[in-house]
Structure 1
Amino acid sequence: MSPYQLVFGKSCHLPVELKHSSYWAVRQVNADFIKAGKERKLHLNLLEEFRNEAYANSSIYKERVKAYHDKMIEKREFQPGEAVLLFNHKLRFFPGKLKSKWSGPFTIKSVMNNGTMELIAPDGSTFKANGQNIKKFYTEEQQDEVFVVALIK
């Protein structure tokens, strides 16, 4: 369904089409007002049906896109003792092409039910961070293992 049809309730006609049907259009304009009013009400009802159908289709589309997006999200589970990197929000204010926005590595001290992690910094201090801002840290040997496993799959 085109946006033009949603707004105006009828399909779009090119000027070439209107030229051939100009005689028909002149006869249509000279119709009586009662009949024109009834047709106008019918067209308004059809327009409302088109809009409702478009709304239903858009909600179906949004559900499908959300399901696809959620399917592509990789489930991340962390265990105490793992090495992780923390996303540093402050670095986005000082942009640099080659500057990494991830700091660390930190060690996970504990994992809480709400997704919060208690991390241990390299100097021994502890702090809490949101689990969405954390990703696993791999050493070079671990990266090679992950790469080989990915190739096998």
Structure 2
Amino acid sequence: MDLVVVGHKRLLDLNEIEEFRAQAYKNAKLYKEKNNCWHGNRIMPRQFEPGKQVLLFKSRLKLFPGKLKSRWLGPFEVAQVYSHGAISIKDLKTWVTFKVNGQCLKHYWGVHVDRDKQSIDP
């Protein structure tokens, strides 16, 4: 065994592994960029105007979430829209106004459903 030849081969193998790692990193980065672009193009922009009704996403941590319970609260009325993405909404029952992130809202198109009922009337 020649230690110089073995050492030289070992360095070549390490360089080859480093090239594979760099190529894998580059491929993963390209994949993520392409995937983000694809998903970003499919996001529909939501424009909220004062006076319109919206639903608020309920994002509290629940240990035992109900399967059929809605995760949306509301309806609320948009009071003011800020330029940085925050929106002031007003509760229609208590008339309390508070700010929320605009990404937690969606437009409300329907009529109010009483979610406190325990049974369905025929």
Aligned alpha-carbon RMSD (Å)? 1.7
Structure with greater helix percent = 1
Question: Residues 118-137 of structure 1: matches in 2 within 5 Å?
Answer: 118-123=88-93, 124-137=95-108
- Structure 2: unaligned runs, 5 residues or longer: 112-122
Q: How far has the Cα of 1:91 moved from its partner?
A: 6.9
Q: TM-score under structure 1 normalisation? A: 0.65
Q: 1:71 to 1:87 in 2, by over 3 A?
A: same
Structure 1 SS opposite 2:60:
helix
- State the distance in 2 between where 1:92 and 1:81 align: 32
Q: 1:46 to 1:117 in 2, by over 3 A?
A: same
Q: 1:71 to 1:92 in 2, by over 3 A?
A: farther
- State the distance in 2 between where 1:110 and 1:73 align: 23
Bigger Rg, structure 1 or 2: 1
Highest RCO, 1 vs 2 (Cα 8 Å, sep ≥ 6): 2
Q: TM-score under structure 2 normalisation? A: 0.80
1:55 equivalenced with 2:25 (yes/no):
yes
Aligned AA (2:76)? F
Q: 1:45 to 1:90 in 2, by over 3 A?
A: closer
Question: Residues 16-55 of structure 1: matches in 2 within 5 Å?
Answer: 31-55=1-25
- Structure 1: unaligned runs, 5 residues or longer: 1-30, 141-153
Q: Which runs of 4+ in 1 moved over 6 A?
A: none
Instruction: Name the residue aligned to 2:77.
Output: 107
- State the distance in 1 between where 2:32 and 2:74 align: 37
Structure with greater strand percent = 2
